Amino acid sequence: MAPIKKRDKHLLTTDPAWCKGCGICVEFCPKSVLELENEKIHIRSLEDCIGCGTCESLCPDYAIWFREEQHG
């Protein structure tokens, strides 16, 4: 599990171990940030992420989420 992209004090976080490879996040990402690699979620283009949260809201496996950045 790794923080990937910072957006407004939130970090896009993925956990490929939870991913079952359905590809919903890949299909609905408006910027084509995500892809499946070896049937698991993979970040293709971090720079293109706009932090819209579509991937998080559609993931049935909870393998993608935004979390608050921890300070301190």
pLDDT in tens, 11-61: 778 899 999 999 999 999 999 989 999 999 988 887 788 888 999 999 999
* Number of domains into which the chain is organized: 1
Angle, CA 65 vertex, CA 18 and CA 63 arms, to 5°: 10
Q: In the structure encoding, which two tokens stand for residue 34, read together? A: 């995500």
Residue 49 sits in which domain range? 2-68
Dihedral, 34, 60, 14, 35 alpha carbons, nearest 10: -20
- What does pTM read for this prediction? 0.76
Does residue 7 have a pLDDT over 60? no
Angle, CA 59 vertex, CA 2 and CA 67 arms, to 5°: 40
**Residue 43: which CATH number?**
3.30.70.20
Q: Are 45 and 26 in contact (CB under 8 A)?
A: no
pLDDT-derived band at 71 (thresholds 50, 70, 90) equals low
**Three-state DSSP class for 47?**
helix
